[in-house]
Copies of this chain bind each other. A is one copy, B any other.
């Protein structure tokens, strides 16, 4: 049984923490300054609250699961303490950013394992995979045994886990943003009904898929902005065009900049489209 520190449990982190608890580990988190919703999720997942310093000093393994724009800051805070255990960055960040996190972590005296989570917050087996890569990946892969979270070694280079997460999310979240842009274009041009009728004939999944994309963007778009920027940077680093994900970042930024709309779904959808369309329609 291992003592694991979790920085900082959101929806995904709390579920991953719950899997580690169900596998028999003690999972520490730091409740200071966190929201009531976060605290509720951490309690439900049976995570153990403690201060940041004792979390770091007591943990053999620390998981960083946070919005991608915070990944480097979290690593710096841990490295400053002189932490010498195992540090797993499981965030949606580019290989270049993961390399910077690794450099910060190893300079501080700890070992780095690269991670990437694909799938929804794990609550039933078979849907969520934690990809891991790097020299000590196998030690981390042993932790969530017999839980809803499946650990997999990502064969390939040291930062394969981050790389596969980028390439995967490039499609899923890239297409969601693109779909919102297509439907917003049709609305702006006065042909949304015609497009919906054509989709009904030849792209039957898209009317509902665009509704779901709007709903997801409204609730989670705020943390996808940086993820899209990390993917855009990954594309550039590989000599590929960054435009898809720069545009996706812009779409999610427009939605989230205007706050999360209330939960009524009809209102939601129109509000999201209105937020995306910066010109009067």
Contact = CB atoms under 8 A, between A and B. Distances in A.
A47 B240 CA distance: 43
Contacts of A184: 238, 240
A280 to B, nearest CB: 9
A223 interface: no
Contacts of A235: 181, 185
Contacts of A171: 178-179, 182, 203, 206
A163 B186 contact: yes
Contact of A202 (B119, B155, B202, B245): B119
A110 interface: no
Contact of A155 (B168, B194, B247): B194
Nearest to A244: B247
Given A171-B182, A238-B277, A195 B247 contact: no
A189 B247 CA distance: 22
Contact of A186 (B118, B167, B188, B241): B167
B278 A239 contact: yes
A120 to B, nearest CB: 10
Nearest to A188: B238
Contact of A238 (B118, B127, B185, B248): B185
Given A163-B186, A168-B195, A250 B241 contact: yes
Interface string A183-227: 111101111011100110111001000000000000000000000
Contact of A198 (B129, B156, B240): B129
Interface band, chain A:
35 or more
Given A168-B198, A182-B167, A191 B160 contact: yes
Contacts of A188: 238-240
Contacts of A203: 168, 171-172
13 contacts: A131-B194, A157-B190, A163-B189, A164-B198, A166-B185, A167-B183, A167-B185, A167-B186, A171-B206, A181-B244, A184-B238, A242-B243, A243-B250
Q: Which 3 A-B pairs have the closest CB atoms?
A: A243-B247, A239-B279, A243-B243
Interface of A: 95, 118-119, 127, 129, 131, 154-157, 160, 163-164, 166-168, 170-172, 174-175, 177-179, 181-186, 188-191, 193-195, 198-199, 201-203, 206, 234-235, 238-248, 250-251, 276-279
